Chain A
Amino acid sequence: MIAAIGLLLGILAGLLLQPNVPIWLEPYLPIAVVAALDAVFGALRAFLDGIFDDKVFVVSFVSNVLIAALIVYLGDKLGVGGQLSTGVIVVLGIRIFSNVAAIRRHLFHA
C-alpha cells in the first residue's frame, strides 16, 4: 500500500515539478530508469514467491542503477557508448520479460 502510494507520489512530483535533466545526467537517466524497473520487477517476483527482503531490494535497486550508469559511462569513455547502452537495454529487457512472466504465473496461474 505504502509502496504504491510512493510510486504515485513520485510520478505526481515529476509531473508537477517538471525538472530539467542536467546535461551530464542525460545519457544515463534512461538506462538508470530501465535498470530500476528491472529491480522493481525482480522485487515483485520475489515478493510473490514469498522471499522478499527489503534490504536486498534496496541494495539491488541502488546497485542496478549505479552499475548501469557506470557501464554507459565506461562505454562513453571507450567510444562505444551508444552500442553499450543498447546492450544494457537488451539485457535488462530480457530480465524484465522473464520476471514479468513469473509474476504473471503467480497472479493469473497462467
Chain B
Amino acid sequence: MKVALRIQRFNPDTDKSPHFEDYTVESELTDRILDAILQVKGLTDGTLTLRKSCAHGVCGSDGMRINGRNALACRELIMNHKQPIVIEPMKGFSIIKDLVVDMEPFFNKYKSVKPYLINDEAAPAKERPQSEKDRMKFEDTTKCILCACCTTSCPTYWADSDFVGPAALVAAHRFIFDSRDRAGEERLDIVGEKEGAWKCRTIFNCTDACPRGIQVTQAIGEIKRKEIFG
C-alpha cells in the first residue's frame, strides 16, 4: 500500500535552510520506516542522505526524529505511525546533509567522562571477579549504543549545547557504579559540574527516546544521589 513520507532535506551546497519534501512509496504496513526511506533513496531520489548500517537496532546509526520523537528508523514499524510520517534529523547538532548530523560534539562529550575501565592496581592472575549484585548496579547503562537519540531529545541540551547530555551521563554511570573501576571519584568530579548531572531537569525525554529502553533519567538520578551521599 501507499505510504506517505515527509522528509526534511538540506543540501549545504545549494540550500540556505532545511525544507520538507513529500514522498510516496509502495510499502507493507509491517515494513520498517527505514525500508520506506531506503525506497525513496533507491527509487525516487538517490541524493537523499542518511546514516544506516546494521538496520537491526544494534549499531545505532539511524537515529532520527520520527513524527516528533527520536527513534531508530530500523526499529519503527510503518503501521505504528500516523501518515505522512515526518522524518527529521536529530535536533541539537548541526546538519551535514539531509538526515546526517555532525556527531563530533556528541562523541567529545562522551569521551570527556572517560568511558573506559580505569584500574591501575596490579592485574590479578586470573580475572577481576564481581558479584552478580554489583554487576546489576550498572547492567542497565551497559546497553547504550551511542545512537544519540537521548541527547538530541533533551530540551536542556537544545538550549545549552555545553550540557554534557544524557548519553555521556549514562556512560559515566556505567563506570562510576562498576566495582572494578577505580576512577569513580574522578568521574563524579567531571559530571558533578554545572554542565554535568546538575543541568538535568528530569524532563524524561531521554528515557522516552532510548531505543534500548535504558532508564536514563533514573541513571542520572543515581549519579546525583552519589554526588550527595557518596
Partners in one complex: no
Residues of B within 8 A of A (CB): none
